[in-house]
């Protein structure tokens, strides 16, 4: 696509299409202002999630999971979207992770030193059966942490340099990928 | 001034078929009224393809509670997601029923533009292998047309809407008027070559043919590869009726588009033996109105058009309008789809893709083309694609810490390649749509009752999709090959067809070779209801071509005063 056309397209698209429905944006601005998620997770549960999230995705030359609000995202999913059954299973699983921290590391996960946190994570990740707690909830949480991190605005914009309108498709471009994300799965019927 | 109620032509529905009817009728100078059950859509404010996950309440996971409440059926469609659900019907207002042992999925949108806003944009011409299939094996009734009758109309449609694709010279998948093809990925190009070689040229993997612009075309801009087309396209780079045919119709000055107009009945005038017009219920006020016209085109989509005819009863047609043959509502089809295989492609680790290609690869039908398959009749095409795992792979990958994070940011997973079959369904008299005796929609119109089942031939073909795809992945050098079966019920493919089929004689079907009702000569049905067989290609371009062809003939008949 010609650059001139891309600009034309961008012009057409700057209308309102970048904006989410108002109610959707509202939740994130409320959380950004320090507002709570209705019926949400407790301080302790959020601290545990934050500690696990920052062990998996710590701050380096790019932000950490808590830097971009991952615990709040997990909170929204678990508290506002899960079925009662899934939420109960998740909360029980969090307890099982905490119990593992106490047996492996001798304290609540969030209180452990980085190396002790690492051993807890390794002990859970090394379990071959991912369907029994604490592994079951750990893997669900890990997927949520990764999703919450990489779909956050700072990470998509500043880290992945996500291009909303790439303007071209190349099927055989060279690595590396710093400038754009891999394609989403293509779906059609 | 009172709103006019008499027109040259009435078109019911403003989706893929209705948009084409509107464009062709108005360009031929006919004052045309398009009646659309749903509300208007404004691309500037309603399209949501550029809304990023961070701006969504559930970051793309969808609002489970709202979807379960308003879209219990529709949410089974991938496109009915956190932001795109607004282009799907509210299931509570639009019920349908099935027998307990025959689930059926009916995915649909009620709005100006119909499902052209959400469709997958894949377009493949049919060939004589398809139009001749019923005559050859005796299932269903013979099509009254062949490829030569429709070929110029495929070209007519393709030239106007713009189709990307590559010509391959295959008799079973005719070439078309294509804009430049989209690129295949490095592994697709490689796999294409290896599969061609392993199967003696019989199995051809080509780039998907899609109604998406790869160059600026007819005043619409080329695609900018943003990705989620099913949420709309502010630049109208893929074909919608809203962004293409309806504006063309508008430009003639002959179009009256009336949203929120639910057509409840086609009115039959027994003295003249014609359809005099339609009865409409205002979707918002529930007020009833009538409109009259010289010709009536039903383009409300397969099931809706059949339901409308079944609901249009008179002394002359007690079992539904234009149903003297007794075939109305029978021989309903969909594609059975989703079984196939996937594998990991070794190597190519120095390659990646840029941009989000809203298209995939297509493997043209190879079963029962030159040789006969022992287990089933007819065949299937395969659709799929390849890619490298992105950050999402981290969710199930062991590891933590800064290096783990960096690997998700800077590296990609291995390439994978997968495809699944889209299979032809045999026309069967017992696959039906009828009116439910008790259930009614929000506007008091009897709901459709679907009874459609996969049978022996479909199930046998389904098995073959898995093995054949696994063989191809093996030939392509894949490792870790896994087959997948699909339990998709009928309807799930959203290629519902039949119910008011075309036929050679009046006793065998509802429509003649010009999509004209045998029984009511000023009544035309040009959406998927007219199909006498399903072939295995995505069908919408065939509806468009048949619609344009039917209008041209209708106008000629009107000029000859035969209508
Ligand atoms: C997610 C998805 C992916 C798809 N992918 C593909 C693909 O890749 N290739 C392909 O060929 N097809 C695909 N399809 C199918 C395609 O969308 C349909 O075949 C096509 O839209 C049918 O066109 P139509 O005009 O008959 O019906 P529609 O486009 O559904 O339009 C019918 C219109 O009629 C209106 N209507 C219905 N009843 C009434 C009434 N009583 N009164 C007034 N108006 C009425 C409806 O509101 C609607 O606007 C896909 C569909 C979906 C949902
Ligand atoms: S990928 Fe292309 S066709 Fe699809 S919405 Fe984006 S610009 Fe439009």
Ligand nearest to the CA of B106: 1
Nearest to B88 by CA among B100, B75, B98: B75
CA separation for the pair B266, B377 (Å, rounded): 38
Residue owning the nearest CA to atom 9 of ligand 1: B122
Crossing angle (nearest 10°) for helices B186-198 and B456-475: 110
Instruction: Tell how far the Cα of B156 is from the centroid of ligand 2, in angstroms.
Output: 23
User: Is A151 part of a structural domain of the chain?
Assistant: yes
Quickly state the pLDDT bin for B504 (edges 50, 70, 90). Answer: very high
A69 → chain B, closest CA residue = B54
pLDDT at B105: 98
Interface check A77 vs B, CB under 8 A? yes
pLDDT value at position A189?
45
Q: Look up the domain containing A64 and give its range.
A: 24-159
Q: Give tens-digit pLDDT for B57-109.
A: 999 999 999 999 999 999 999 999 999 999 999 999 999 999 999 999 999 99
* A-interface mutation test, from B214, B234, B420, most A Cβ less than 10 A away: B234
Strand partners, B290: B279
Residue B17 scores a pLDDT above 70: yes
Give just the sign of the alpha carbon dihedral B293, B299, B304, B310: positive
Give phi and psi for B350, each to the nearest 5.
-90, 5
Tell which atom from ligand 1 comes closest to the C-alpha of B79.
1
Q: Which helix (H) or strand (E) element contains residue A150?
A: helix A135-150
Query: Which position has the token pair 């002959």?
Result: B254
Look up residue B56 and give its two tokens. 């969504």
- Contact criterion met (CB < 8 Å) for A169 and B182: yes
User: How many angstroms separate the CA atoms of B279 and B300, rounded?
Assistant: 14
* Residue B44 to residue A142, Cβ atoms within 8 A: no
Closest ligand 2 atom, residue B49 Cα = 5
Q: For residue A4, is it within any domain?
A: no
**Span A138-142, average pLDDT:** 98
B68 in contact with A, Cβ within 8 Å: no
| d(CA B471, ligand 1 centre) in Å | 35
Task: Using most ligand atoms within 8 A of CB, pick from B34, B84, B105, B114 the residue to mutate for ligand 1.
Answer: B114
Pocket lining: B12 vs ligand 1, CB cutoff 6 Å: yes
Domain coordinates in residue numbering, chain B? 6-121+240-333+429-449+497-559, 163-227+336-423+454-484
pLDDT (0 to 100) of residue A23? 60
Q: What is the pLDDT of residue B447?
A: 98
pLDDT at B431 over 50: yes
Provide, as residue numbers in chain B, all residues whose Cβ is less than 8 Å from the Cβ of A183. 227, 353, 355-357, 387
- Confidence (pLDDT) at A16: 45
% residues pLDDT > 70 (chain B): 100
Distance B38 CA to ligand 1 centre (A): 12
Helices in B399-521 by DSSP H: which ranges? Answer: 402-410, 456-475
Question: Residues 128..147 of B with a Cβ closer than 8 Å to A: which?
Answer: none
Residue A167 lies in a domain: no
Helix (H), strand (E) counts: chain A? 8, 1
CB pairs under 8 A between A and B: 241
With contact defined as beta carbons under 8 Å apart, do A66 and A56 qualify? no
What is the pLDDT averaged over residues B104-123? 98
Would you say residue A7 lies in a domain?
no
Averaged pLDDT, A7-30: 61
Residue range B512-531, pLDDT digits in tens: 999 999 999 999 999 999 99
**Contact across the interface for A177 and B410, Cβ inside 8 Å:** yes
Query: Which residues in chain B (247-286) have CB-CB distances under 8 A to chain A?
Result: none
CB spacing of A156 vs B58 below 8 angstroms: no
pLDDT computed for residue A25 by the predictor: 62
| B166, B178 Cβ separation under 8 angstroms | yes
Beta bridge partners of B233: none
Q: A28 or B450: whose pLDDT is higher?
A: B450
For residue B395, give how far its alpha carbon lies from the nearest alpha carbon of chain A (Å): 4
Lowest average pLDDT, out of A10-19, A107-116, B534-543, goes to A10-19
**Who among B57, B387, B404 is closest to A183 (CB)?**
B387
Q: Looking at the 3D structure of chain A, how many domains does it have? A: 1
Residue A40 lies in a domain: yes
Q: What is the pLDDT of residue A19?
A: 53
Mean pLDDT over residues A162-189, rounded? Answer: 73
| Predicted local confidence at residue A22, as pLDDT | 55
Q: Is B465 in the pocket of ligand 1 (CB under 6 A)?
A: no
Using an 8 Å CB-CB cutoff, list chain A residues near B226: 164-166
Rounded to a whole number of angstroms, the distance from the CA of B562 to the nearest CA of chain A is 40
A4-13, A154-163, B454-463: which range is least confident on average?
Answer: A4-13
Phi, psi of B478 (to 5 degrees): -75, 155
Q: Select the residue from A6, A154, A169 to test the B interface by mutation, using most B Cβ atoms within 10 A.
A: A169
Place of tokens 């291009």: A163
Closest protein CA for atom 41 of ligand 1: B263
Report cis status (omega within 30 of 0) of the bond before A176.
yes
Q: Does A172 touch chain B (CB under 8 A)?
A: yes
Cβ–Cβ gap A169/B495 under 8 Å: no
Q: According to the 3-state scheme, what is the secondary structure of B244-303?
A: HHHHHHHHCCCEEEECCEEEEEEEEECCCCEEEEEEEEECCCCCEEEEEEEEEEECCCHH
B162: left (phi over 0), alpha (psi -120 to 50) or beta: left
Interface of B with A in 376-395 (CB under 8 A): 383, 385, 387-392, 394-395
Question: What is the distance in angstroms between the Cα of A137 and the nearest Cα belonging to chain B?
Answer: 12
Alpha helices in B111-255 (DSSP H): 128-131, 133-137, 147-161, 186-198, 246-251
Residue contact A188–B395, C-beta within 8 A: no
Question: How many other CB atoms are there within 10 angstroms of residue A107's CB atom?
Answer: 13
Nearest ligand to the C-alpha of residue A186? 2
Does some domain include residue A68? yes
Residue B281 confidence (pLDDT) above 80: yes
CA angle B257, B262, B264 (to 5 degrees): 130
* The predicted structure's pLDDT at residue A31: 73
Q: Tell me the fold of B6-121+240-333+429-449+497-559.
A: FAD/NAD(P)-binding domain (3.50.50)
Average pLDDT over residues B111-115: 98
* pTM (predicted TM-score): 0.96
Instruction: Compute the nearest-CA separation of B137 from chain A (Å).
Output: 27
* Angstrom distance (rounded) from CA B491 to CA B484: 19
Residue A131 touches partner B, C-beta closer than 8 Å:
no
Q: Read out DSSP for A117-149? A: HHHHHHHHHT-S-TTSTTHHHHHHHHHHHHHHH
Q: pLDDT tier at A7 (50, 70, 90 boundaries)?
A: low
Q: What is the pLDDT of residue B468?
A: 98
Residues with CB under 6 A from ligand 2: B 49, 212, 223-227, 229, 233, 235, 237-238, 358
Question: Please, are residues B41 and B112 in contact by the beta-carbon 8 Å criterion?
Answer: yes
Instruction: State the pLDDT at residue A44.
Output: 95
Segment holding B530, helix H or strand E: none
Which among A27, A123, A170, A186 is the top mutation candidate for probing chain B, defined by the most B β-carbons within 10 Å of its own β-carbon?
A: A186
CA atoms within 13 A on the CB side of A52: 30
**A80 in any annotated domain:** yes
Chain A contact present for B352, CB below 8 A? yes
DSSP state of B145: -
pLDDT band at residue A3 using 50, 70 and 90 as cut-offs: low
> Is residue A166 in a domain?
no
Whole-number pLDDT of residue B3: 86
What is the structure's pLDDT at A182?
45
- The owner of tokens 């208007």 is B40
| pLDDT at B501 (0 to 100) | 98
Whether A120 has its CB under 8 Å from any CB of chain B: the answer is no
Is B536's pLDDT higher than 80?
Answer: yes
Nearest to A125 by CA among B83, B510, B395, B76: B395
Expressed in angstroms and rounded, the spacing between residue B242 Cα and the centre of ligand 2 is: 15
Closest CA to B476 of B195, B184, B186, B188: B195
The residue of B43, B49, B57, B414 whose CB has the most chain A CBs within 10 angstroms, and thus the best one to mutate to test that interface, is: B57
Taking CA atoms, B22 is separated from B248, B299, B309, in Å, by 9, 10, 20
* pLDDT for position B70: 98
Q: CA separation (Å) from B197 to A118, B27, B193, B205, B368?
A: 50, 48, 6, 11, 20
Whether A114 and chain B come into contact, CB under 8 Å, resolves to no
pLDDT digits over A76-102, tens only?
999 999 999 999 999 999 999 999 999
């Amino acid at each position: 696509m010609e650059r001139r056309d891309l600009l034309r397209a961008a012009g057409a698209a700057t209308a309102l299409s970048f904006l989410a429905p108002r109610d959707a944006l509202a939740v994130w601005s409320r959380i950004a202002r320090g507002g709570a998620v209705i019926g949400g997770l407790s301080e302790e549960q959020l601290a545990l999630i934050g500690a696990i999230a920052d062990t998996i995705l710590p701050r380096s030359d790019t932000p950490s999971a808590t830097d971009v609000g991952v615990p709040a995202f997990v909170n929204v999913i678990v508290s506002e979207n899960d079925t009662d059954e899934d939420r109960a299973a998740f909360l029980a699983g969090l307890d099982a992770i905490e119990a593992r921290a106490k047996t492996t590391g001798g304290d609540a996960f969030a209180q452990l030193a980085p190396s002790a946190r690492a051993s807890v994570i390794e002990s859970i990740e090394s379990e071959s059966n991912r369907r029994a707690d604490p592994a079951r909830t750990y893997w669900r949480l890990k997927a949520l942490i990764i999703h919450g991190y990489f779909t956050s605005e700072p990470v998509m914009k500043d880290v992945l340099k996500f291009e909303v309108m790439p303007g071209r498709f190349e099927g055989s471009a060279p690595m590396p990928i710093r400038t754009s994300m891999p394609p989403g799965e293509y779906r059609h019927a | 001034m009172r709103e006019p109620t008499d027109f040259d032509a009435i078109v019911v529905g403003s989706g893929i078929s209705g948009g084409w009817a509107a464009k062709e009728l108005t360009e031929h100078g006919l004052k045309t009224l398009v009646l659309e059950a749903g509300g208007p859509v404004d691309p500037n404010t309603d399209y949501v393809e550029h809304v990023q996950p961070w701006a969504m309440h559930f970051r793309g996971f969808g609002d489970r509670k709202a979807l379960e409440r308003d879209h219990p059926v529709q949410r089974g469609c991938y496109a009915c997601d956190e932001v795109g659900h607004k282009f799907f019907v509210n299931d509570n207002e639009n019920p349908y029923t099935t027998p307990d042992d025959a689930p059926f999925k009916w995915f649909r949108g009620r709005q100006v533009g119909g499902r052209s806003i959400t469709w997958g944009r894949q377009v493949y011409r049919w060939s004589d292998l398809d139009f001749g299939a019923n005559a050859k094996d005796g299932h269903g009734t013979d099509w009254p047309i062949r490829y030569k009758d429709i070929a110029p109309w495929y070209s007519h449609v393709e030239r106007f809407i713009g189709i990307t694709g590559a010509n391959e010279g295959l008799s079973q998948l005719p070439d078309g008027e294509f804009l430049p093809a989209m690129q295949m990925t490095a592994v697709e190009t490689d796999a294409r070559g290896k599969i061609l070689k392993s199967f003696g040229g019989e199995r051809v993997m080509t780039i998907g043919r899609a109604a998406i612009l790869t160059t600026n075309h007819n005043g619409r801009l080329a695609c900018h590869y943003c990705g989620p087309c099913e949420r709309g396209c502010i630049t109208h780079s893929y074909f919608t009726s809203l962004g293409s045919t309806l504006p063309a119709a508008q430009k003639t000055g002959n179009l009256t588009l009336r949203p929120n107009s639910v057509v409840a009945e086609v009115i039959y005038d027994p003295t003249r033996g014609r359809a005099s017009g339609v009865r409409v219920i205002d979707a918002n006020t529930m007020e009833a109105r009538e409109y009259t016209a010289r010709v009536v085109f039903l383009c409300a989509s397969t099931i809706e058009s059949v339901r409308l005819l079944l609901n249009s009863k008179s002394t002359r047609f007690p079992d539904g309008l234009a149903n003297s043959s007794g075939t109305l509502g029978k021989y309903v089809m969909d594609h059975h789809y989703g079984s196939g295989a996937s594998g990991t492609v070794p190597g190519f680790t120095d390659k990646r893709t840029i941009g989000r290609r809203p298209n995939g690869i297509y493997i043209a039908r190879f079963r029962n083309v030159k040789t006969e398959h022992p287990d089933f009749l007819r065949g299937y095409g395969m659709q799929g694609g390849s890619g490298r795992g992105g950050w999402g792979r981290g969710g199930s990958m062991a590891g933590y810490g800064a290096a783990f994070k960096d690997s998700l940011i800077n590296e990609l997973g291995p390439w994978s390649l997968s495809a699944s079959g889209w299979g032809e369904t045999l026309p069967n008299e017992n696959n039906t749509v009828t009116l439910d005796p008790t259930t009614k929609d929000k506007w008091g119109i009897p709901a459709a009752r679907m009874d459609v089942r996969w049978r022996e031939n479909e199930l046998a073909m389904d098995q073959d999709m898995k093995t054949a795809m696994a063989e191809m992945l093996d030939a392509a050098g894949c490792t870790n090959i896994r087959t997948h079966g699909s339990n998709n019920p009928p309807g799930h493919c959203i290629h519902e067809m039949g119910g008011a089929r075309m036929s050679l004689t009046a006793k065998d079907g509802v429509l003649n070779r010009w999509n004209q009702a045998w029984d009511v000569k000023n009544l035309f049905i040009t959406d998927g209801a007219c199909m006498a067989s399903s072939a295995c290609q995505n069908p919408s371009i065939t509806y468009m071509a048949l619609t344009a062809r039917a209008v041209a003939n209708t106008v000629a008949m009107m000029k000859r005063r035969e209508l």
